[in-house]
């Protein structure tokens, strides 16, 4: 009895999948997309403040990564390389969003379902955090997310952003200071 | 020398990595059918594809072997009717026509009536019968078309007939009416070619 | 009230580190965009494609009706041409095209979907090819608009496409 064919093993490594794509197995790329969709999505959503913008940035980044796959020097580190593409893509989108002066959109479902006080509090808190994040200058927000949410080392951040390590440390520091100020202001509303 | 060639051909079939999808017992049976076919000058690719189809569809080994054997036999019959110069696509289409019920003599008449490749004419014949047109009517119509119609005309004819059938026309009537509208005389008349149809260059 | 500034920022970080769920439909949109131009080698200056989602969906729906169905291209083809295979299956989570042209291997011709219309394009040399769609990895479907492969000996439906032209 034959096995289902063409089903990628869940355990196939990034390097193996990249290799397959490079030999023409386009379908293998969809496994990579599924693997990184949420992780990259987290950064994009927080950086851009809008889910639709984030999905568009994600889609563009995945496609761009596919089209320039031959320039991924180390397939074992495909994720980090893909990350750099996303970070760059979010800078473009961020500029557009800033021009539209878009506010962070509340998660309507979460609000509608918030029948308990603690749930409402959670949504409220999430909202507060998002608004504070939105008020940061883009380069501060980028540095803060990369350092504290995505857990990158400063060396890796420098490679991704093209900024120097000391400049990045300063941006993270400024981001923290500003967030504290914004959050305290929010308390007193 | 012949033995070496035969052994070489055997090795080629055994080494086709696609057949590794088969379990060992089925694989060796399929390989022997493929090798025999190849030795008889028949194309092996249709046989391999039939085996792969069976594997993908989860068929049991014996069923796969039977299907491959049946196809090899039918390819041989088609080749007998179409001549040794027939290409693999022509043979495959010929098998479809045979399995639709056309006799080998229809294939031979087609070969005499039409310039190669015969693939599309044979395919249209098979597809018409699949749609429900009686095999004698379908054969007569395709043979009547054979000397002059382009492949595209044949395909258009088949599409038109299928459209009529989908709108409720009885298949045989649909085909006859369409044939008449295309300038073919009635199907019974069309069975007797008028005078000398143009003879295509003889096949090697 | 927050006693220490660091604690405040830590709370922010904890909030932001929570997992985010992106709609898995993104995968399909990515693959559809790739399938529209599958050559993986980049030009020297990769460009951002315009977001194709709206027109791709419209084109796919139109394609199901208008695009020349493969079996109509019977005549005068030399060499190989690309043929599009389409299946409307809004409930499916995966559809694979399998047939004599790809060794009946579901991984070879993945189909991508826009609003329930699944499509892929395959180059075909002259010949006669049996094929079928494998839906969700388990259900076999023939192509509703194509001739049936009458000789179906494995108990599942298949279709046929014949490509004309001079075979070797």
Looking at the complex, report in whole angstroms how far the Cα of residue B50 sits from the nearest Cα belonging to chain A.
Answer: 15
Q: Span A51-64, mean pLDDT?
A: 91
Tell whether C134 is covered by a domain.
Answer: yes
CA C136 – CA C118 distance, rounded (Å): 12
Same domain, B111 and B149: yes
Q: How do residues C59-113 score in pLDDT, each as one tens digit?
A: 443 333 333 333 333 333 334 577 888 888 888 889 999 999 999 999 888 888 8
Same domain, B107 and B194: yes
Return the pLDDT at C75: 35
Tell whether C112 is covered by a domain.
Answer: yes
Tell whether C5 is covered by a domain.
Answer: no
Residue C36 has pLDDT above 80, yes or no: no
Tell whether C136 is covered by a domain.
Answer: yes
Tell whether C86 is covered by a domain.
Answer: yes
Q: Span A27-55, mean pLDDT?
A: 90
Q: C38, A27 in Cβ contact below 8 A?
A: no
Q: How many residues does chain C have?
A: 168
Same domain, B107 and B56: no
Give the whole-number percent of chain B exceeding pLDDT 90.
Answer: 55
Chain C residue with minimal CA distance to A88? C48
Domains along chain A with CATH numbers: 1-102 (1.10.1740.10)
Return the pLDDT at B79: 95
Same domain, B126 and B75: no
Angle between helices B171-181 and B119-131 (to 10 degrees): 140
Q: Span B177-202, mean pLDDT?
A: 52
CA end-to-end span of chain B? 26
Residue ending a domain, choose from B48, B82, B116: B82
Return the pLDDT at C50: 35
In this prediction the ipTM stands at 0.80
Calculate the average pLDDT of chain C: 73
Same domain, B59 and B1: yes
Alpha helices by DSSP H, C43-143: 53-66
Tell whether C168 is covered by a domain.
Answer: no
Q: Do A2 and B56 touch (CB under 8 A)?
A: yes
Q: Number of folded domains in chain C?
A: 1
> What pTM was estimated for this model as a whole?
0.50
Residue A92 has pLDDT above 50, yes or no: yes
Which CATH number goes with the domain that contains C93? 2.60.40.10
Q: Span A75-89, mean pLDDT?
A: 91
Same domain, B109 and B70: no
C-alpha distances in Å from residue A3, one per residue of A7, B22, B57, C137, C157: 9, 10, 10, 11, 20
Tell whether B94 is covered by a domain.
Answer: no
Residues 6+ apart with CB under 8 A from A14: A32, A35, A75, A76, A77, A78, A79
Q: How do residues B123-139 score in pLDDT, each as one tens digit?
A: 999 999 988 899 999 99
Residue C133 bridge partners (DSSP): C97, C141
How crowded is residue C39: how many other Cβ atoms within 10 Å of its Cβ? 8
Domain coverage including residue C142: 23-36+51-163
Residue A2 has pLDDT above 50, yes or no: no
Residue B87 has pLDDT above 80, yes or no: yes
- More reliable by pLDDT, B13 or C122: C122
- More reliable by pLDDT, B9 or A122: A122
Q: Do A5 and B56 touch (CB under 8 A)?
A: yes
Q: Span A46-55, mean pLDDT?
A: 88
Strands C81-88 and C117-124: antiparallel
Q: Range with the lowest mean pLDDT among A42-51, C119-128, C129-138? A: C119-128
Residue C140's nearest CA partner among B27, A30, B30, B59 is B59
Looking at the complex, report in whole angstroms how far the Cα of residue B56 sits from the nearest Cα belonging to chain A.
Answer: 7
List of chain A residues whose C-beta atoms are within 8 Å of the C-beta of residue C48: 60, 64, 89
Q: Number of folded domains in chain B?
A: 2
- More reliable by pLDDT, A38 or C90: A38
Q: Do B21 and A5 touch (CB under 8 A)?
A: yes
How crowded is residue B77: how many other Cβ atoms within 10 Å of its Cβ? 15
Q: Which of residues 134-163 of C touch B (CB under 8 A)?
A: 134, 140, 147-148, 150-151, 153-156, 158, 160, 162
List of chain C residues whose C-beta atoms are within 8 Å of the C-beta of residue A63: 30, 33-34, 49
Q: Range with the lowest mean pLDDT among A44-53, A139-148, B13-22? A: B13-22
Q: A15, A75 in Cβ contact below 8 A?
A: yes
Angle made by CA atoms B99, B102, B106, in degrees to the nearest 5 = 135
**Cis upstream peptide for B117 (omega within 30°):** yes
Residue ending a domain, choose from B19, B48, B82: B82
C-alpha distances in Å from residue C25, one per residue of A41, A189, C21, C91, C138: 13, 39, 11, 13, 21
Return the pLDDT at B171: 87
Q: Range with the lowest mean pLDDT among A105-119, B71-85, C67-81? A: C67-81
Q: Span A111-120, mean pLDDT?
A: 54
Return the pLDDT at A118: 65
Q: B96, C158 in Cβ contact below 8 A?
A: no
Residue A113 has pLDDT above 80, yes or no: no
Q: Do B58 and A5 touch (CB under 8 A)?
A: no
Return the pLDDT at C73: 34
Residues 6+ apart with CB under 8 A from A54: A41, A44, A45, A47, A48, C22
Residue B119 has pLDDT above 80, yes or no: yes
How crowded is residue A39: how many other Cβ atoms within 10 Å of its Cβ? 17
Domain coverage including residue B173: 103-204
List residues of chain C with CB under 8 Å from any CB of chain A. Answer: 1-2, 5, 8-9, 12-13, 15-17, 19-24, 26-27, 29-31, 33-35, 38, 40-42, 46, 48-49, 51, 96, 105-108, 110, 137
Residue C53 has pLDDT above 80, yes or no: no
Tell whether C158 is covered by a domain.
Answer: yes
Return the pLDDT at B138: 93
Same domain, B28 and B119: no
Return the pLDDT at A11: 66
Residues 6+ apart with CB under 8 A from B154: B120, B121, B124, B142, B145, C74
């Amino acid at each position: 009895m034959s096995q289902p064919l063409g089903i990628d093993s869940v355990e196939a490594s990034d390097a193996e999948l990249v290799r397959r794509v490079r030999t023409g197995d386009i379908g293998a790329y969809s496994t990579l997309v599924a693997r990184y969709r949420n992780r990259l999505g987290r950064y994009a959503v927080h950086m851009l403040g809008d889910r639709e913008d984030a999905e568009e940035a994600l889609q563009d980044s995945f496609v761009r990564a596919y089209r320039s796959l031959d320039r991924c020097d180390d397939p074992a580190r495909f994720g980090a390389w893909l990350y750099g593409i996303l970070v760059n893509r979010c800078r473009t989108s961020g500029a557009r969003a800033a021009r539209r002066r878009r506010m962070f959109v509340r998660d309507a479902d979460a609000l509608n379902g918030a029948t308990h006080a603690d749930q409402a509090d959670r949504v409220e808190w999430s909202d507060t955090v998002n608004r504070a994040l939105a008020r940061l200058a883009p380069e501060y927000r980028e540095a803060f997310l990369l350092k504290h949410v995505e857990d990158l080392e400063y060396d890796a951040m420098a490679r991704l952003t093209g900024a120097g390590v000391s400049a990045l440390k300063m941006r993270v520091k400024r981001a923290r200071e500003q967030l504290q100020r914004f959050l305290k202001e929010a308390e007193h509303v | 020398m012949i033995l070496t060639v035969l052994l070489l051909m055997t090795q080629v079939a055994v080494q086709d990595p696609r057949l590794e999808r088969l379990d060992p017992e089925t694989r060796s049976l399929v390989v022997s059918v493929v090798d025999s076919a190849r030795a008889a000058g028949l194309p092996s690719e249709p046989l391999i594809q039939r085996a792969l189809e069976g594997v993908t569809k989860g068929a049991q080994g014996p069923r796969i072997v039977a299907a491959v054997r049946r196809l090899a036999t039918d390819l041989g019959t088609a080749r007998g009717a179409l001549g040794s110069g027939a290409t693999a696509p022509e043979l495959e289409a010929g098998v479809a026509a045979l399995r639709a019920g056309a006799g080998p003599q229809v294939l031979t008449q087609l070969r005499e009536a039409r310039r190669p490749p015969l693939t599309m004419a044979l395919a249209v014949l098979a597809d018409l019968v699949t749609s429900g047109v009686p095999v004698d009517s379908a054969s007569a119509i395709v043979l009547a078309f054979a000397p002059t119609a382009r492949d595209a005309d044949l395909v258009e004819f088949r599409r038109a007939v299928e459209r009529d059938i989908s709108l409720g026309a009885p298949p045989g009537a649909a085909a006859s009416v369409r044939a008449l509208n295309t300038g073919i005389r009635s199907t019974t008349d069309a069975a007797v070619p008028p005078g000398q149809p143009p003879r295509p260059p003889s096949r090697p | 009230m927050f006693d220490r500034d660091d604690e405040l920022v830590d709370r922010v970080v904890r909030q932001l580190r929570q997992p985010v769920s992106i709609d898995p439909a993104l995968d399909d949109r990515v693959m559809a965009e790739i399938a529209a131009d599958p050559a993986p080698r980049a030009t020297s200056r990769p460009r951002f494609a315009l977001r194709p989602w709206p027109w791709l969906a419209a084109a796919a729906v139109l394609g199901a009706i208008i695009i020349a169905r493969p079996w109509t291209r019977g005549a005068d083809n030399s060499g190989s041409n690309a043929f599009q295979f389409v299946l409307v299956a809004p409930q499916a989570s995966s559809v694979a095209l399998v047939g004599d042209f790809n060794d009946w291997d579901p991984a070879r011709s993945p189909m991508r979907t826009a609003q329930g219309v699944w499509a892929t394009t395959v180059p075909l040399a002259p010949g006669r090819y049996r094929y079928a769609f494998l839906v969700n990895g388990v259900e076999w479907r023939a192509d509703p608009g194509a001739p049936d492969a009458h000789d179906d000996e494995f108990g599942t439906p298949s279709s046929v496409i014949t490509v004309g032209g001079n075979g070797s």
